[in-house]
Structure 1
Amino acid sequence: MAEWALACHTFDLKVEDVAYENLAKTANRWPSEQAFLPFFDPSERYPEYEQFPRVFSIDFVERIEGGRTYVVQRLQDVNIGDRLTDNSNEPDDYRFHDVFHLAYVAYLGWSPVLRGLLKLKRKSQPKIDENEDGARATIIEEGIATWIFNHAKRRDHYENVAQGKLDYGLLKQIKSMVEGYEVEACPLWQWEMAILRGFEVFRMLKSNRGGRVTVNMNDHTLTYEELPHPT
């Protein structure tokens, strides 16, 4: 304690300010009570057609055609987006990576990528549409997902990482990448939950070569089930 006070004095810092900042950092990562932030697309501000469905399911269907393996995604039996491959010389099942965007919706209420894919951009608010749902935000999200995937790939896709144990440096870097965007408000524990649960479901998709993933924004859950029949 004396050394801490001496360090504060040396750098002209107030002990109470340093203590407050440390408490705030601890609460951001390990809160005594977890309280999720309100949705970024509340019904009182946006029409229904600009809101994420609070509960929805996406089917991940793996197919082989002409020697190429790819994944198609289906929402209510309708294909959405492009066919996804690993885009890599070494197969690594990145074709299932959109599950991470689903996890961001479930636990953060955020995904410019899925807003674009599902035609849910908030065009009634031009600045929000341009800045929060636009190309730059989409690129940032894809960059985060790819960067985390490469980090996780060397760590068994986080199979043995418990909540509260994910690399703190990783979370801090993500926080800096989203600075200035609405999702910056989300604390580190929400990001960690989204990442770890996203990879848990990713491992299920990988193991079963596809499946159905359900987002529940109200309960903040991401669940997996095998497809009921060939699609």
Structure 2
Amino acid sequence: MMSEFSAGTLTLDGYQKAAHKTDKLFKTDRGLSFPLLGLFGEAGSILSEVKKKQRDKTAYIGYQKTVIEEFGDTLWYLNAIACRSNISLAYVGHNIDRPVEDWQFSAPEDLKFIDLQKSVAARASEPSSQFERRLLKLASEVGLLVVDFQAGRLEDNQASIVGRLVAILRNLRDAAEEAGLSLADAAAENLRKSYERWPQQKRYPPLLDADFPEHEQFPRKFSLTLVENGEPGKRQVTPFYDGSPLGDRLTDNRMEDDDYRFHDAFHMAFAAKLGWSPNLRRLLKRKRKSVPKIDEVEDGARAVLIEEGVSTWVFNHAQRLNLFEGVPALDYGLLKTVREFVEGYEVASMPLWLWEEAILSGYEVFRELQANRGGVVTADLENRTLGYSTNS
């Protein structure tokens, strides 16, 4: 499927079918409220990015990358509305530049996104006044669609929905052209992101140390026993591996106790799911010294600090959400930030769905450790599972 997401060959029909498969709410909710809210929000997000760029012309570096992602997300919600209304996206695109009286009611199945744009100018480093006007027009067209929905004018009225979608897609295309962006690139990138987040079939990538000597690999199944001791207010956790202490005793390192001293559960989850934990690799003496650059970079001190940074940042977020109890899925923004934390390192190649598995499984075990004041955490790298049992 990923090989089909090429901007130069991506058709509107192909995009519609592929994007529709990532609409997780469609089976239970075929109403327009969800995609309308999403479309309205994404159009606003593009305007927000333009505002940031205007305010901080030199400081706001992520403008271009973020805008193309927002264009893709806007297109996804437009497509969701089309799918819920039984409207062909190719039909919408085929009539994008035609007056209503000249609309053609059949569209070629091979209509490509690149066919919708006459040309793509050089990518602008900052938003032009014309780009701003295009975006305001886009926002107004989305607003009109929402107004029609609220007034009940879209109910059993496919023709009105089509008319609004054509106008929205036209303004989205025109804004992309003005910004020097390819709508085809935005669509293809949106599919790659969506399928990385919600794949049709989950396939675990090879373990990162699979090609290294056995003594430089993580044990394919191993356990840590976390034992809590000390007086109230001075609690410590000692991790044991094969009956011996592993590393230092851990405290919360915070004025108020929050049980972060059990956070080895997160390192074990990273190892089990991602095959990655510079911290555990160092403690278990499994650094990949046979390749000096890997030993220095991927298994070195900076990588250790990055892993600790990810663990701490996610924990601060999790505390606001009851340590993810009852949370079946993590928000994309959190996963995206985690990916940015590890950019430039081998683990950045891991898909977002696997990061989600690692984080949620780690917190499931953390909550067990917290409730029982310790226990045994087992990482099974062959089966990509993380388990918990009590000390007894």
For 1:161-176, list aligned pairs within 5 A. 161-163=327-329, 166-176=330-340
Query: Which portions of structure 1, spanning 4 or more consecutive aligned residues, are displaced by more than 4 angstroms?
Result: none
Q: Higher relative contact order at CA 8 Å, sep ≥6: structure 1 or structure 2?
A: 1
Amino acid at match of 1:17: D
2:178 matched to which residue of 1?
Answer: 10
Q: 1:88 aligns with which of 218, 236, 254?
A: 254
| Distance in 2 of aligned mates of 1:88 and 1:149 | 13
For 1:38-117, list aligned pairs within 5 A. 38-42=206-210, 45-64=211-230, 68-117=234-283
CA RMSD in angstroms comes to 1.4
In the TM superposition, residue 66 of structure 1 has moved relative to its aligned partner by 9.3
| Distance in 2 of aligned mates of 1:148 and 1:48 | 32
Gaps of 5+ in 1: none
1:215 matched to which residue of 2?
Answer: 379
In the TM superposition, residue 48 of structure 1 has moved relative to its aligned partner by 1.2
The 1:83–1:5 alpha-carbon spacing in structure 2 relative to 1, beyond 3 Å, is: same
Amino acid at match of 1:159: E
1:71 aligns to what SS in structure 2?
Answer: strand
Gaps of 5+ in 2: 1-168
Question: Does residue 324 of structure 2 align to residue 158 of structure 1?
Answer: yes
For 1:187-202, list aligned pairs within 5 A. 187-202=351-366
In the TM superposition, residue 50 of structure 1 has moved relative to its aligned partner by 0.6
Which string of whole-angstrom CA distances, capped at 9 and with x for unpartnered residues, describes residues 164-222 of structure 1? xx122111111111111000100111111111110011000000001111101111110
Q: 1:27 aligns with which of 186, 189, 195?
A: 195
- Count, aligned residues: 224
CA contact (8 A) 2:375 2:391 kept: yes
In the TM superposition, residue 67 of structure 1 has moved relative to its aligned partner by 6.9
Which string of whole-angstrom CA distances, capped at 9 and with x for unpartnered residues, describes residues 126-150 of structure 1? 0000010000110111011011111
CA contact (8 A) 2:273 2:358 kept: yes
Amino acid at match of 2:224: I
Amino acid at match of 2:177: H
1:82 aligns to what SS in structure 2?
Answer: coil
| Distance in 2 of aligned mates of 1:210 and 1:217 | 22
1:84 aligns to what SS in structure 2?
Answer: coil
Question: Does residue 286 of structure 2 align to residue 130 of structure 1?
Answer: no
Amino acid at match of 2:225: D
2:349 matched to which residue of 1?
Answer: 185
Deviating more after overlay: 132-141 vs 166-175? 166-175
Give the strand-richer structure, 1 or 2. Answer: 1
| Distance in 1 of aligned mates of 2:359 and 2:252 | 19
| Distance in 2 of aligned mates of 1:156 and 1:5 | 42
